[in-house]
Amino acid sequence: MRRVILITGGQRSGKSRKAEEMALSMSQKPIYMATAHVWDDEFRHRVEIHQQHRGPQWTNIEEERWLSQYDVTGRVVLVDCITLWLTNLFFDTRNVEEALQTAKTEFDRFIRQDATFIFVTNEIGSGSVSENEVQRQFTDLQGWMNQYIAKQADEVILMVSGIPMKIKSEK
In terms of Cα–Cα distance, which of 28, 75, 80, 73 is closest to 49? Answer: 80
* C-beta of residue 118 within 8 angstroms of C-beta of residue 76: yes
**Is 53 a catalytic site residue?**
no
| 3-class SS shares of the chain: helix, strand, coil, % to 5 | 45, 20, 35
Which of the following is catalytic: 37, 45, 50, 53? 50
State the DSSP string of 25-38.
HH-SS-EEEE----
In terms of Cα–Cα distance, which of 81, 79, 85, 21 is closest to 55? Answer: 21
Residue 107's SS3 state is: helix
What is the amino acid identity at position 106? E
Distance CA 146, CA 156 (A): 10
Distance CA 18, CA 155 (A): 13
- Active-site residues, by number, are 50
